[in-house]
């Protein structure tokens, strides 16, 4: 990020977050809380390094909890269950089976297959879509799928916050894996989302080592922000410790050992339920409340998470906020990108919200790539488009289209 000062980067992130929330809102009214979130983003003075949870890591408490988890694993997995040693990862993610997520899902699955063929790709040994829906959908025969019973059946067609069902769906998946450990192919479970692109393979240090689990630090998750203190204290009472314990993260991209997922899942579900039943909490935490629920659950369970911003993030980058892969292997396209000519003409644009219809899921159209690079372009917020940023976005579109080719070649489209 050497080409941008921290101030302009923050401005960009705040700007992009408007688009992010606008997209999530899909036409709903949210301006009041949006303002609060922009303030949160603008007030951020954090820096990477250790997360709050890491700084607060209490070896004694972890060992105590770890004993509980180990007992669970011995009963559920262990020698006769899922693997508990090694560097391999099992990838999972949730979906409600809407055309919007299914288009993204097929593209992502294609890029996963590409990354699997790269050197090191053999460490990605499991892949499960957790479908929270009343029935299987068109992707079920084509993508490895676990069907979870939805808390909100109306989300099959439409609902305003489908991710409220995510923690419960993950817990159902874990319960099923405890009953049938062969569902889990690796010691590490890596939760991702459908709007991710695999640019390279992923693996973890040996699970039997003391390596910490990995999560992503989100700039717009601010557990210590003063205006949400009251709400955060309902979720994480003073008796638990300072709010700084709560890592600014979410369930994805998050890679933890199975024992840690088993510990966190019931908490994550319970905190989500607590928020959904509390109008004040829902309003204050808004569209990212399920991410806050996960963050609070991680703090309550005292799970140490290794979190670094790009370029040190080993999980993802989020173009156009990040202009280089750094150590990451995934790209997350939650924000769109616009390239404008210096005269103001829009030259090119990509946004995931252009691909929401059943015909997109069924026909899997390719994404028009950007025109050849020229100096002087600007992004949607007026910031320049330096060559490295162009290259990252062009690579993302190229990879997505290559993923579409794989899906079609394998007859999965
Ligand atoms: C701006 O530049 C583009 C690309 O060169 C060109 O196609 C367009 O006609 C120009 N528009 C104006 C208003 O000059």
pLDDT tens sequence across 200-234: 999 999 999 999 999 999 999 999 999 999 999 99
Q: Mean pLDDT, to the nearest integer, of 355-381?
A: 97
pLDDT value of residue 30? 28
Please tell me which residue, 125 or 16, carries the higher pLDDT value.
Answer: 125
CA 12 / ligand 1 centre spacing (Å): 25
Which amino acid residue places its CA nearest to atom 12 of ligand 1?
A: 343
CA 396 / ligand 1 centre spacing (Å): 26
1 domain residue, yes or no: no
Tell me what the pLDDT averaged over the chain comes to: 85
| Ligand 1 pocket check for 345: Cβ under 6 Å | yes
- For residue 36, pLDDT over 50 is answered with no
Q: Which of 192, 205, 200, 189 is nearest to 112 (CA)?
A: 200
Q: Mean pLDDT, to the nearest integer, of 87-113?
A: 98
pLDDT digits (tens, 9 = 90+) for 230-259: 999 999 999 999 999 999 999 999 999 999
Which amino acid residue places its CA nearest to atom 6 of ligand 1?
A: 345
Domain count, the chain: 2
Q: Mean pLDDT, to the nearest integer, of 152-157?
A: 95
Tell me: do 302 and 317 sit in the same domain.
no
Last residue of a domain, one of 255, 275, 307: 307
pLDDT value of residue 16? 47
| Ligand 1 pocket check for 343: Cβ under 6 Å | yes
What is the pTM (predicted TM-score) of this model? Answer: 0.84
| Ligand 1 pocket check for 342: Cβ under 6 Å | no
225 domain residue, yes or no: yes
Last residue of a domain, one of 243, 275, 307: 307
Model confidence band, residue 48 (pLDDT cutoffs 50, 70, 90):
very low
Tell me: do 121 and 198 sit in the same domain.
yes
| Ligand 1 pocket check for 340: Cβ under 6 Å | no
| Ligand 1 pocket check for 346: Cβ under 6 Å | no
Q: Which atom of ligand 1 is nearest to the CA of 343?
A: 1
CATH number at residue 74: 3.90.550
% of the chain beyond a pLDDT of 90: 80
- For residue 33, pLDDT over 60 is answered with no
pLDDT value of residue 335? 93
Model confidence band, residue 413 (pLDDT cutoffs 50, 70, 90):
confident
Tell me: do 213 and 191 sit in the same domain.
yes
pLDDT value of residue 80? 62
- Domain of 23, in residue numbers: 6-28+311-409
- ∠ CA 248-249-253, nearest 5°, is 160
CA 347 / ligand 1 centre spacing (Å): 9
CA 345 / ligand 1 centre spacing (Å): 6
Q: Mean pLDDT, to the nearest integer, of 321-339?
A: 97
The Cα 179–Cα 320 span in angstroms is: 42
Tell me: do 255 and 339 sit in the same domain.
no
């Amino acid at each position: 990020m050497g080409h941008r000062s921290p101030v302009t980067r923050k401005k960009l992130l705040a700007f992009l977050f408007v688009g992010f929330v606008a997209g999530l809102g899909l036409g709903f009214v949210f301006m009041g809380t949006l303002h609060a979130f922009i303030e949160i983003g603008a007030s951020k003075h954090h820096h990477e390094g250790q997360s709050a949870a890491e700084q607060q890591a209490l070896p004694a408490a972890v060992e105590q909890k770890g004993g509980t988890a180990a007992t669970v694993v011995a009963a559920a997995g262990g020698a006769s269950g899922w693997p508990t040693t090694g560097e391999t990862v099992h990838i999972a993610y949730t979906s409600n089976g809407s055309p919007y997520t299914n288009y993204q899902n097929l593209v992502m699955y294609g890029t996963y297959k590409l990354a699997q063929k790269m050197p090191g790709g053999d460490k990605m040994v499991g892949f499960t879509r957790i479908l929270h829906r009343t029935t299987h959908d068109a992707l079920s025969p084509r993508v490895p799928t676990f069907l979870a019973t939805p808390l909100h059946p109306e989300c099959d067609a439409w609902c305003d916050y489908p991710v409220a069902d995510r923690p419960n769906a993950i817990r159902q998946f874990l319960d099923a894996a405890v009953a049938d450990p062969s569902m889990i192919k690796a010691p590490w479970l890596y939760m991702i989302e459908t709007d991710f692109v695999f640019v390279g393979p992923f693996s973890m240090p040996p699970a039997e080592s003391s390596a910490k689990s990995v999560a992503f630090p989100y700039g717009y998750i601010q557990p210590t922000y003063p205006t949400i203190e009251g709400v955060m204290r309902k979720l994480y009472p003073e008796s638990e410790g300072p709010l700084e314990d709560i890592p600014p993260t979410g369930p994805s991209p998050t890679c933890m050992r199975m024992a840690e997922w088993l510990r966190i899942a019931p908490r994550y579900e319970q905190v989500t339920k607590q928020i959904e039943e509390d109008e004040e909490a829902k309003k204050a935490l808004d569209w990212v409340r399920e991410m806050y629920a996960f963050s609070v659950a991680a703090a309550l369970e005292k799970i140490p998470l290794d979190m670094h911003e790009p370029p040190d993030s080993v999980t993802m980058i989020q173009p156009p906020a990040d202009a280089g892969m750094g150590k990451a292997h995934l790209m997350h396209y939650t924000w769109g990108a616009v390239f404008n000519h210096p005269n103001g003409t829009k030259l090119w644009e990509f946004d995931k919200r252009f691909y929401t219809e059943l015909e997109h899921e069924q026909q899997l159209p390719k994404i028009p790539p950007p025109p050849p690079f020229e100096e002087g372009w600007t992004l949607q917020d007026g910031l320049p488009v330096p060559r490295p940023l162009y290259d990252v976005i062009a690579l993302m579109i190229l990879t997505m289209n290559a993923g579409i080719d794989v899906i079609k070649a394998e007859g999965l489209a």
